[in-house]
Structure 1
Amino acid sequence: MVRILIIKTSSLGDVIHCLPVINDIKYFVPESSIDWLVEESFADVPRLHPGVNSVITISLRSWKKNLRKKSTWIGLYKSIKAIRENHYDIIIDFQGLLKSAFFTLFTRGDIHGFDKASIREAAASYFYKHTHPVSKQIHAVVRNRELASKCFQYELLDQSAHFGLEIHNINNFNLSERYVVLIHGSSKKSKQWPMEHWLKVIQFFNVLGLRVLLPWGNLEEYHFSKSLRKASTNSLVLPKMNISDLANIISGAKCLIGVDSGLTHLGNALGIPTIGLYLDSNPYLTGVYPNIKVPSVNLGEIGVTPTPESTISQIEAII
């Protein structure tokens, strides 16, 4: 049995972009057991993949804000203890940051990562025993898959990705109607789509008789959802949900439309027809990546806002 530890701690979209690596490794190294080190807030994602044996969590974001609290140091101790519990044949840091490289200090096994020219923070490469060159000018999914292929010395057969998430007990919270999910919230305002554009798309779904579900993650997103709800009797503002419950909801949707957000990538990874709306990031590098199961489309790019008309045209093509 080949024991493997994957280090990809955050954020939601980045964690999802690393999922196809699991399927690759399981194909080329069938006698393998894979553990994953991840931020607690994103741990639901690797837990949904049947190829992940164990999930080890850290709470680095919380710890940094509460350095004087005893609970912080107890939590750090427990995470380090869990990391050191097993000896791994191969440890791969896909994050490529000092914060992720720090945790390799507590691992037992051969550590791999991007080389100095390929990594996001060059100093992190000095923590690894083995470093590998991977182009920065390719999609994040491909970068992760190529790094893994170099660690295990196998050749990728094709560029199609299988994310491998499984939800066995689908519970759509008594949502008997056909519905779609719209993801309007993003970490940066420059990535958000104008309200008037969303309203045109919602009106289109009303004509189709599809209910529109509106998730939210903070107070600002909640008020935005409420404003969209006022303009459409066929919309529903969801309660605050964790990633696992949202995955449950999304898995039953006819399609998902979303800005550059981890939840948009989650819809695609769950095999839901997905349209990604890009205004201030490069979809070639971090956009919705083609899923072998369903159609997915990226619209827009840095400085080019997708129009409601082009979005509706793509909805008609994939739904």
Structure 2
Amino acid sequence: MKVLITGADGYIGRALARRLAAPGTLLQGRPVERLVLSDLALGDPLLRDAPGVTAVPGSIADSRVIDLVTRDAPDVVFHLVSVPSGQTEADPDLGLQVNVQATLALARALRRSGQAATFVFTSSIAVYGTPLPERIDDDTPLAPALSYGAHKQMAEIFLADATRRGHLQARMLRLPGVVARPPTPTGALSAFSSELMRALVAHRPYVCPVSPQATLWLLSLQACIDNLLHAAQCPAQPFGGTTALNLPAQHVSVARLVDAFETVSPGASAGISYQPQAGLEAQFGRLPPLFTARADAAGFRHDGNLATLVQRVRAGLAE
């Protein structure tokens, strides 16, 4: 089994790569014999020297990099790399180049390899835009309000057509907020939820840019990796005739989230204050109830309850 991960040095990419590089790991019932990791740089010392791991540094928008990572015809591709929302708004050309053009180029290169690789693509809830309807389900129309969401929708359309033609087997997962991300300037406008959680765990002050009534869709990193691996092994039929799914997530208010951390660690919320930004809250803090019937039927799962999510976030930050 040959596996490729793009964006392998990111928050999700590192965790996925570590899981797949562990001795004895099976994917689609076969041992992972070669793991190719692609990103601008690869700084995880636990991965650089792991058996069977090949690092390919450079931009996935570079045709040379695409040639290198597809040379041995990977069986499974996890395409995680992207230019996030804030950075894409500031530099739309870079966003288009990486989020759309590189995705298309990677898919075409895989087609030339002659193997219909399983292609797990991380899309985003940003495809729904604003204002959001009163609920989101599998049939909610897409209406992205930012370039990042538009780019994800463009990639979804292309990958769905490539799947129809038999060039690859796309599994596209629209990720909710995956927490708690590290404190790096990723340009993700939704990163405030992770910043809030880090402050709660550390008992330090934090000015939250959304109100206590703001509502979020949350998934722990552990549950996210479980779902990505499940997508790579899930047959097409349970997807209900589509290649894109909304991942299950817990729908919680900021107030309830803060209370959950306070329950585990009294005093955690003492330094939390609020200065809501109307535009940010409208885009990322007014998420309606989420219904994921197709994903549920296909075996995708969130963390189960808020207490488990908080426990996993705290454990991840401790590491």
TM-score bracket relative to the smaller structure? 0.3 to 0.5
User: Greater Rg, structure 1 or structure 2?
Assistant: 1
TM normalised by structure 2 equals 0.36
